């Protein structure tokens, strides 16, 4: 079977032929800067060999007929990145202290810190945006049949990511530690307790004991900002690897065509 | 049918034409070395994973100390109306660790459950048995009403309507030196039989008590004999 040609180099990376009449010496300062950049990139690439990987990741062949619905996965990724960045900076001001410190630190973020209310708002509303985007992305994959062979693992990892995102929403909801956060988490933990046989132990694990206490808040905080984000980042990496490796599925309204030019029929 | 590549012809490495095999040897040195390295890595990983896991799971096995607290004198309470008392459920976290108990004197005409030294005063927990929201006592209708999902309990704390799966939890009460003490929480089924404390949403009637086992620390029903006596009060 003849090998398909590799992905073409994008235009910007192709070697440019020298202009007729121009000498090889670089005189234009802009060109000199560009030359310097190329030297740095070449230096890195010679030592890391990253450029084939980046080209493999970014410059892919995609089926014809794809549309804006195919960008929902990337949109979810950017929602995750936004949550990560805003969350990291919120953690600089937040205290997981059930004795009133948590509520006070959130109040301080909202009232006193420069752009605090904005960053807090980004994180709060971004959480809902991420859930909405995930469901839209999931719906696109489902209705386009993109979960079918050979992309089942991508779907399964995606479902795990959905569950982890919901766990993020659940654990993050307690952190402001106001009345709504407290009682919503009480109800949420008790819903977990409603599961037969393991429910009581699950709720004890979530609360860090039989009653809602100081350890509950720090537990939720640790799960919210260390445990689940690490897992999610790793799984998103795996998800993207599979997307790149398996390629993007064609929209269901496109019929598969016989590849007439690439595969040649040979009479023996 | 493809040939089974994992099929072993002989248990001796020499018979399997492995490089560097010795006579009578079943595991060659390379495989032994690989196994040793894997085992060492596994032991090293377990050395930090197992303690960390136990650390994270320990609250399931944590035993809470009995906390008796004074909620008033017998004269503070009546038979026909509930008195609201702010109590401490979790110590050391201020307001977040406080809760509310509804307390009244035992009324033999209404309270048909057997009398003992721990229920001379009826102390009901404000934690709804549906999902744990705080219930509120309405004197006019003699009902406890939950704001979250509409659970209703009657004067004795039995379910009168809505989603709750069992009556309101109770607290042990004890009278000593002219004071009323409030002790640990316990749960009851619809017959007001006593069970070790359960989370809300866990029914205790019929199969419920087996589907929702007690915590490890309180799996034995608290004994009425071994309960610690309240501390002496110095005037």
Q: What is the pLDDT of residues B11-28, one digit of tens each?
A: 888 888 777 788 888 888
Three-class DSSP category at B157? coil
Contact A191 B201 (CB under 8 A): yes
Q: Which of A186, A200, A209 sits opposite B59 (nearest CB)?
A: A209
Residues A210, B201: C-beta atoms closer than 8 Å? no
Q: Which residue of A has its CA nearest to B91?
A: A213
Can you state the angle between helices A228-246 and A152-174, rounded to 10 degrees?
A: 160
pLDDT of residue B220: 46
Listed by start position, the domains of chain A span 28-59, 68-246
Mark yes or no for CB contact A193/B199 under 8 Å: yes
Which of A130-139, A207-216, B34-43, B127-136 shows the lowest per-residue confidence on average (mean pLDDT)?
A: A207-216
Residues B123, B145, B165, A184: is their CA dihedral positive or negative? negative
3-state helix, strand, coil in chain A (%, to 5): 65, 0, 35
Interface of A with B in 38-77 (CB under 8 A): none
**Residue of A234, A248, A229 lying closest to A74 (CA atoms):** A248
Compute and round to an integer the Cα radius of gyration of chain B: 30
Residue A59's CB: how many other CB atoms inside 10 A?
13
How many angstroms separate the CA atoms of A150 and A154, rounded? 9
C-alpha span between A57 and A245 (Å, rounded):
9
| pLDDT of A261 | 66
Using one digit for the tens of pLDDT, what is the confidence trace for A164-191?
999 999 999 999 999 999 999 999 999 9
Q: Are B96 and A191 an interchain contact pair (Cβ–Cβ within 8 Å)?
A: no
Contact residues for B2 (Cβ-Cβ < 8 A; gap 6+): none
Backbone angles phi, psi at B88, to 5 degrees: -100, 120
- What is the CATH code for A68-246? 1.20.810.10
Helix ranges, A5-97 (H):
29-48, 50-58, 72-91
Q: What is the mean pLDDT of chain A?
A: 90
pLDDT, one tens digit per residue, over A19-43 is: 777 666 666 778 888 899 999 999 9
What is the pLDDT at residue B148? 92
Q: Which residues of B touch A214 (CB under 8 A)?
A: 90, 92-93, 96-97
- Average pLDDT for residues A195-221, to the nearest whole number? 89
Q: What is the pLDDT of residue A184?
A: 94
- Other Cβ atoms within 10 Å of B69 Cβ, number: 15
CA distance B152 to B76: 26
pTM: 0.82
**pLDDT per residue as tens digits for the range A59-110:** 988 888 899 999 999 999 999 999 999 999 999 999 999 888 999 999 999 9
Q: Out of A206-210, A263-267, B122-126, pick the least confident.
A: A263-267
pLDDT of residue B221: 46
**pLDDT number for residue B10:** 80
> Model confidence over A89-100: pLDDT tens digits?
999 999 999 888
Q: CA B202 to CA A210: how far, in whole Å?
A: 14
> A265 pLDDT band (50/70/90 cuts)?
low
What does the pLDDT read at residue B226? 47
Indicate if the pLDDT at residue B108 is higher than 70.
yes
């Amino acid at each position: 079977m003849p090998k398909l040609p590799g992905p073409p180099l994008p235009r910007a990376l192709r070697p440019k032929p020298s202009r007729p009449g121009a000498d090889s010496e670089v005189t234009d300062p802009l060109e000199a800067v560009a030359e310097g950049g190329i030297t740095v990139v070449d230096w890195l690439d010679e030592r890391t060999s990253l450029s084939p990987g980046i080209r493999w990741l970014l410059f892919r062949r995609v089926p014809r007929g794809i549309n804006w619905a195919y960008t929902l996965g990337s949109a979810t990724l950017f929602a995750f990145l936004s949550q990560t960045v805003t969350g990291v900076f919120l953690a600089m001001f937040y205290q997981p202290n059930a004795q009133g410190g948590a509520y006070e630190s959130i109040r301080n973020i909202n009232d006193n810190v420069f752009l605090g209310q904005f960053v807090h708002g980004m994180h709060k509303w971004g959480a809902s945006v991420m859930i909405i985007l995930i469901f839209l992305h999931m719906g696109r994959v489902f209705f386009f049949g993109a979960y079918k062979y050979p992309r089942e693992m991508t779907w399964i990892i995606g479902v795990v990511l959905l569950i982890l995102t919901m766990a993020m929403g659940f654990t993050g909801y307690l952190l402001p530690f106001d009345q709504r956060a407290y009682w919503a988490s009480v109800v949420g933990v008790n819903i977990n307790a409603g599961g037969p046989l393991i429910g009581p132990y699950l709720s004890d694990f979530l609360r860090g004991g039989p009653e809602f206490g100081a350890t509950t808040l720090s537990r939720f905080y640790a799960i919210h900002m260390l445990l689940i984000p690490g897992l999610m980042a790793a799984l998103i990496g795996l998800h993207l690897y599979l997307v790149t490796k398996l390629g993007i599925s064609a929209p269901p309204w496109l019929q598969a065509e016989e590849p007439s030019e690439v595969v040649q029929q040979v009479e023996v | 049918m493809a040939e089974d590549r994992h099929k072993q012809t002989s248990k001796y490495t020499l018979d399997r034409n492995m490089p560097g095999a010795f006579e009578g040897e079943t595991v060659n040195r390379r495989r032994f070395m690989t196994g040793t390295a894997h085992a060492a890595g596994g032991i090293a990983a377990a050395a930090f994973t197992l303690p960390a896991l136990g650390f994270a799971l320990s609250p399931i096995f944590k035993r809470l100390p009995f906390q008796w607290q004074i909620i008033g004198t017998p004269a503070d309470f009546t038979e026909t109306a509930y008195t609201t008392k702010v109590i401490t459920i979790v110590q050391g976290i201020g307001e977040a660790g406080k809760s509310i108990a509804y307390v009244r004197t035992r009324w033999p005409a209404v309270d048909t459950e057997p009398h003992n030294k721990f229920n001379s005063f009826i102390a009901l927990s404000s934690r709804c048995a549906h999902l744990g929201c705080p219930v509120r006592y309405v004197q006019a209708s003699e009902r406890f009403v939950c704001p979250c999902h509409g659970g209703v309990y009657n004067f004795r704390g039995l379910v009168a309507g809505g989603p709750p799966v069992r009556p309101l939890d109770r607290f042990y009460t004890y009278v000593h030196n002219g004071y009323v003490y409030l002790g640990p929480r316990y749960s009851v089924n619809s017959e007001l039989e006593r069970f070790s404390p359960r989370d809300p949403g866990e029914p205790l009637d019929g199969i419920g008590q087996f589907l929702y086992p007690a915590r490890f620390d309180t799996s034995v029903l608290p004994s009425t004999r071994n309960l610690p006596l309240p501390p002496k009060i110095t005037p």
